[in-house]
Chain A
C-alpha cells in the first residue's frame, strides 16, 4: 500500500512542477495546489499507513496497539489550513494583477523589472 501511495505522491509532484513551469498564473496556481496536496499525502504516508483502529484509547486501558498515527493528521490539518489560505491569497492576487496589468502571462509582467532596466550607468 505504501508503495502505491508513494508512486501517487511522485505523480502529484510531477504534475505540480509541470504546471508551475507554465507562464500562465492560473496554471501556476493549479500547480501550487497539486504540489501542496502531494506534500500532505507525503506527511500522511510518512506517519505509516494503517486502516484498522482509530487512535482512541478504550476506557479502562492505558495503551492501544495497531492504531493509526494521530500526529500526521494534526500536521496535515495545519498544513491544509495554511495552504488553503495561501492559495486564496494568491488567487485574489492573480485576479488583481490581471485587472491592473492586463496580464496573466508572467512574461508580460515587466513593471517591477523593466526590460531596459539593467543597463549600467554611463559615468564612472
Chain B
C-alpha cells in the first residue's frame, strides 16, 4: 500500500461555523437541554411547567429567526463534526422544514398551557414535561435534518418519547393502546432502517443532497424497491389506509392533551418524510409508484371519514379524521405539480394546527360530560355554548369549508388534479387527476357529515341516546375557573389562530409556493449544503 502521490480532496471544514448558522441546530439542542434540566431538577417540581414553557418560547424564537432567514435567502445548512457535507451529518432547513418546525413548537406551547388545567405541581414528578420536550426534539429534528440516517434517529427519539407519554398514568386502557402503538410503529421504523441500509448499499451515501445527485444514475429497479419499502414504512408512521389500524386503537387512550400532541405532530412527521423521500429524493421511483400512491390516497380519503361517521367514541372518531387528512397530503405526493406539492405542504401546516385543536376540544367535552362515548353525551349546548362554537369552527376547518384554513390546501390540490385533465378534443382522459379531485371533494363532504353529526349528538341532542327527556343531561358540569382559563383559553387561542390564518392565507400560500419549488427542483437545497449542483 503506497501512499497516493496526488493530493487528496479536501475532507475537513477548516473555518468555524458562522454564528448565524447555529439557529439550524439550536432548536433541537434547546429541547434536549431543557429535557435534561427538567429530569435533573425533578425535586423542585414547582417550576417545571414554567421552565418547559420558557424553553419552548426560546425554541419558537430560534425557529422564527430561522424561518425568516430561509424565507429571505433560501435553505440554510450546517454540517456537524468538521467533516465536509457528504461525510459529516448535515442539518438543512428548507422552507417546509422550517415552517413545520415553527408550527409544531407553537402548538406545543399551546398544549403545555392546556396541560396545566388539571395538574398540580406534585404531578410533575412523572417527567411529562421532559418527555414533551423530547418529543418536540424528535419532531423538530425530523423536520430540519438533511441526512437520511439522522432522520431515522430523530424518528426513534420521537417514538421513545411518545412511548413514555402514552403509558404515563399506567391505566389498563393506555397499556392496551401502547402495545398496539408500540409494536406497529417500531416495525415501521425498522422497515425504514432496512430501506436506509439498501439506499446506502446502492448509492454509497445518506446525505439527502448527495442522494438527490446520485439517484438518477442508480439502477431504477433497485431504487423503486427502496421507494416501495419507504412508502410502506412512512405510510405506517403516517397511518395511510391499509396500515392505519394502530391509530384509532391507540390515540384515544392517553389523556386528551397527549393525544392532541400525537395527532398534531407524529403522523405529520411520517407523511412529511414520505413527501421528502418520494418527491425530492427519488422522483423517478415516485413516477413508477404513482398508481400505488394514487390508490392509497383515494382509499384513505374515502374510507377514513366513513370510519369517523360509524364511530361513537369521540376521540376515536377524531382519529379517523386525522387519517383522512393524511390521505389529503398523500394525494399531493401522487400529483407532484407545483400546485400539488404546495397543497400538501399547506395541508400539513393546517393539519398540525387543526387536528391538535380537534383533540383539545374533545378533551374539554370529555371533561364537561365525564364520558368518552358520544352515545352517552348530549345537551352541552345549553350548558356551555362557547364550547360548541369552538367545536363547530374546528370541524369546519378540518372539513375545509371555504373561509377556514382547510379550504386553501384542498383548493390547491383539486386544481392540481384538474390541471392534469386535457380538454383538447381527442385527448385521453387522465383518470388519476380526475379521481383524485373527486376523492378530495368526497372526503370534504364525508368529513363534514361526520363532524357535524358529532356536533349534533354532543351539543344539540337534549340528553344521551334514547333519552326522551327535554331536560339536559344532569351529569354535565360547568368548567372550573382554572379549566376555563387554561384549558378553554388555550383551545380558544389555537382556534382563533386557525381562523385568522384561514382569513389571511397569503403568508402560508407564499411559503407553500416557494417550499414546493424547492422540493421539485432542489438545486438551492444542494447548493446550501455545499455540494455542487448537477450540471
Contact = CB atoms under 8 A, between A and B. Distances in A.
Interface of A: 20, 25, 28, 32, 35-36, 39, 42-43, 45-47, 58, 60-65, 71-72, 75, 78-79, 82-83, 85-86, 89-90, 93-94, 96-97, 100-101, 106, 109-113, 117-124
Given A93-B182, A113-B249, A121-B465, A63 B8 contact: yes
Nearest to A76: B197
Contacts, number: 131
Interface in B130-152: 149, 152
With most chain B CB atoms within 10 A of its CB, the pick from A71, A112, A122 is: A112
Interface in B153-199: 153, 156, 159-160, 163, 167, 170-173, 175-180, 182-183, 186-187, 190, 193-194, 196-198
Contacts of A20: 183, 187
Interface of A is mostly: helix
Interface of B: 1, 3-4, 8, 149, 152-153, 156, 159-160, 163, 167, 170-173, 175-180, 182-183, 186-187, 190, 193-194, 196-198, 200-201, 248-250, 252-253, 309-313, 316, 374-375, 453, 456-457, 461, 465-466
Contacts of A86: 156, 159-160, 186
Given A86-B156, A89-B182, A96-B170, A101 B176 contact: yes
Chain B CB within 10 Å — which of A25, A89, A101 has the most?
A: A89
Nearest to B466: A122
Contact of A46 (B149, B153, B180, B197): B197
A62 B10 CA distance: 12
Given A35-B190, A93-B182, A124 B456 contact: yes
Contact of A118 (B8, B311, B461): B311
Nearest to A44: B197
B511 to A, nearest CB: 33
Nearest to B375: A121
Contact of B172 (A85, A94, A101): A101
A94 B179 CA distance: 7
5 contacts: A20-B183, A35-B190, A75-B149, A79-B152, A82-B156
Nearest to A85: B160
Contact of A123 (B1, B156, B461): B461
Contacts of A83: 190
Nearest to A32: B186
Contact of A112 (B4, B249, B461): B249
A111 B179 CA distance: 12
> Of A28, A61, A65, A100, which is in contact with the most chain B CB atoms at under 10 Å from its CB?
A100
Contact of B196 (A43, A61, A94): A43
Contacts of A72: 197, 200
A121 B312 contact: yes
Nearest to A108: B176
